[in-house]
Amino acid sequence: MDIVVFGAGSLGSLVGGLLAREHAVTLVGRDPHVAAVRESGLRVGGQFDFTVRPDATTDGTGLAADLAVVTVKAFDTAAAAEALATGRFDAAISLQNGMGSEETLAASLDCPVLAGTATYGAVRREPGAVDCTGRGEVVLGPREGGTSEAADRAGRAFSTAGVETTVADDMPRRLWEKLAVNAGINATTALARVENGALLDGPASEVAGDAARETARVARAEGVELGDDEAVEAVERVARATAANTSSMQQDVLAGRRTEIESINGHVCARARERGKSVPVNRTLTNLLRARERDRPQD
Ligand SMILES: NC(=O)C1=CN([C@@H]2O[C@H](COP(=O)(O)OP(=O)(O)OC[C@H]3O[C@@H](n4cnc5c(N)ncnc54)[C@H](OP(=O)(O)O)[C@@H]3O)[C@@H](O)[C@H]2O)C=CC1
Ligand SMILES: CC(C)(CO)C(=O)C(=O)O
């Protein structure tokens, strides 16, 4: 397949590198990473060890492919959608954390937009190289649930390239469960400056559990069956599996970068407001991160 990976940062470079073992991949990213990939190829290290030679460009406009895989940060989705809309694709998929990216893409693109989640860990350490810090899986499917030929085709493309992949018919529930995990872990660890494993017990675990429970309550108000206990168990499962991780939001805070707070806890707050629900823990976490974003040097 011809595949465009829009957002050749950490996750996009890893997924693009894995896909390039089997498919014709074009990475859309920034220099000096793009220049290094064009010059010497993309080295995939950490839990893998191989080099591939995908195409790479800094100009994401006017491209055409069977599939567009979107891996920019959530706050860059609108710009990515605008660029992708100038090209031609049979399908697109978001592998981003947070909620709302699929809707943003679907509003601009003239092709089926699939939902996806990724539990691979990736860090781009230097231009032309990415490390896999944890082998996970990609789960994908139609964003409204059910099955589709586009989802099956994308699933086959990922699987044949050796990406652990599940094609799921319950993406709305899976997205809300992943949202509960990120709502519980990301902002809590970013503010407390602790690793994910610190949420398994101790003072911050209550905050993470409450944020996940609130998220489950909003999910149910949206018609998605996600129990309070299931949401808390998902947080515990992920915190245990990634105990030594510094969450992506904490990494962003430590590096002085913008965070994805609006599409994670901020999304829970926005949906709760529409449904007349109270989510005080998510509201507190969102406002504390917002306060810090106001003080962050602007891009
Ligand atoms: N890293 C991980 O292990 C995982 C990440 N995720 C999710 O995946 C998404 C991406 O995360 P991650 O890879 O860590 O983020 P990164 O910031 O490392 O990657 C995004 C990249 O896209 C680039 N980019 C943004 N807009 C454009 C554009 N218009 N044209 C070209 N390049 C562009 C960014 O460049 P610049 O910064 O210069 O704008 C950046 O290099 C997030 O939603 C994250 O939560 C999910 C699971 C695991
Ligand atoms: C699963 C988790 C919490 C792992 O750190 C993550 O998705 C993130 O940090 O953004």
Q: What is the pLDDT of residues 54-113, one digit of tens each?
A: 999 999 999 999 999 999 999 999 999 999 999 999 999 999 999 999 999 999 999 999
Domain count, the chain: 2
For residues 69 and 88, the answer to whether their CB atoms sit within 8 Å is: no
Query: What does the block give as tokens for 107?
Result: 């509003």
Ligand nearest the Cα atom of residue 138: 1
Ligand nearest the Cα atom of residue 251: 2
**Active-site residue 277, yes or no?**
no
Tell me the C-alpha distance between 8 and 140, whole Å: 20
The verdict on 131 and 205 lying in the same domain is: no
The verdict on 80 and 162 lying in the same domain is: yes
Taking the mean position of all CA atoms in its chain, how far away is CA 109? 19
Q: What is the pLDDT of residues 125-173, one digit of tens each?
A: 999 999 998 898 999 999 999 999 999 999 999 999 999 999 999 999 9
Q: Which pLDDT band holds residue 297 (cuts at 50, 70, 90)?
A: low
Q: Which of 130, 146, 167 is the last residue of a domain?
A: 167
Compute, in angstroms, the gap from residue 246 CA to the centroid of ligand 2. 8
Of all residues in the chain, the percent with pLDDT exceeding 70 is 99
Range of the domain at 103: 2-167
Q: Which of 150, 167, 184 is the last residue of a domain?
A: 167
Q: Which of 144, 167, 190 is the last residue of a domain?
A: 167
The verdict on 91 and 72 lying in the same domain is: yes
Residue where the block lists tokens 């809707």: 103
Tell me the C-alpha distance between 144 and 165, whole Å: 19
The verdict on 161 and 18 lying in the same domain is: yes
Compute, in angstroms, the gap from residue 167 CA to the centroid of ligand 2. 21
* Ligand 2 pocket, residue 188 CB under 6 Å: no
Strands of the 121-126 sheet, one edge to the other:
50-52, 42-46, 129-134, 121-126
Question: 19: how many CB neighbours lie within 10 A of its CB?
Answer: 25
Q: What is the pLDDT of residues 93-109, one digit of tens each?
A: 999 999 999 999 999 99
Ligand 2 closest atom vs CA 181? 3
Ligand 1 closest atom vs CA 9? 19
The verdict on 72 and 102 lying in the same domain is: yes
The verdict on 189 and 162 lying in the same domain is: no
The verdict on 155 and 175 lying in the same domain is: no
153's CB contacts (< 8 A; 6+ apart) are 1, 66, 67, 90, 91
Residues composing the chain:
299
CATH number at 244 reads 1.10.1040.10
Compute, in angstroms, the gap from residue 227 CA to the centroid of ligand 1. 31
Compute, in angstroms, the gap from residue 257 CA to the centroid of ligand 2. 16
284's CB contacts (< 8 A; 6+ apart) are none
Nearest to 175 by CA among 145, 136, 195, 131: 145
Compute, in angstroms, the gap from residue 172 CA to the centroid of ligand 1. 23
* Ligand 2 pocket, residue 97 CB under 6 Å: yes
* Ligand 2 pocket, residue 182 CB under 6 Å: yes
Taking the mean position of all CA atoms in its chain, how far away is CA 72? 8
The verdict on 203 and 161 lying in the same domain is: no
88's CB contacts (< 8 A; 6+ apart) are 63, 64
The verdict on 279 and 197 lying in the same domain is: yes
H or E segment at 66?
strand 64-70
- Helix H, strand E, coil C: the string for 245-267 is CCCHHHHHHHCCCCCCHHHCHHH
- The conformation of residue 25, written as its DSSP 8-state character, comes to E
Query: What does the block give as tokens for 220?
Result: 């149910």
Tell me the C-alpha distance between 259 and 291, whole Å: 12
Choice from 245, 254, 261 to test ligand 2 binding pocket (greatest atom count within 8 A of CB)? 245
Ligand 1 closest atom vs CA 263? 43
Q: Which pLDDT band holds residue 121 (cuts at 50, 70, 90)?
A: confident
The verdict on 35 and 156 lying in the same domain is: yes
The verdict on 150 and 186 lying in the same domain is: no
The verdict on 44 and 179 lying in the same domain is: no
Among 143, 178, 213, 283, the one annotated catalytic = 178
* Ligand 2 pocket, residue 247 CB under 6 Å: yes
For residues 120 and 11, the answer to whether their CB atoms sit within 8 Å is: yes
Question: Any residues with Cβ below 6 Å from ligand 1, and which?
Answer: 7, 9-12, 28-30, 60, 71-74, 76, 79-80, 83, 95-97, 118, 121-122, 124, 248, 260
Looking at residue 298, its pLDDT comes to 59
CATH number at 88 reads 3.40.50.720
Q: What is the pTM of this model?
A: 0.96
Tell me the C-alpha distance between 31 and 219, whole Å: 40
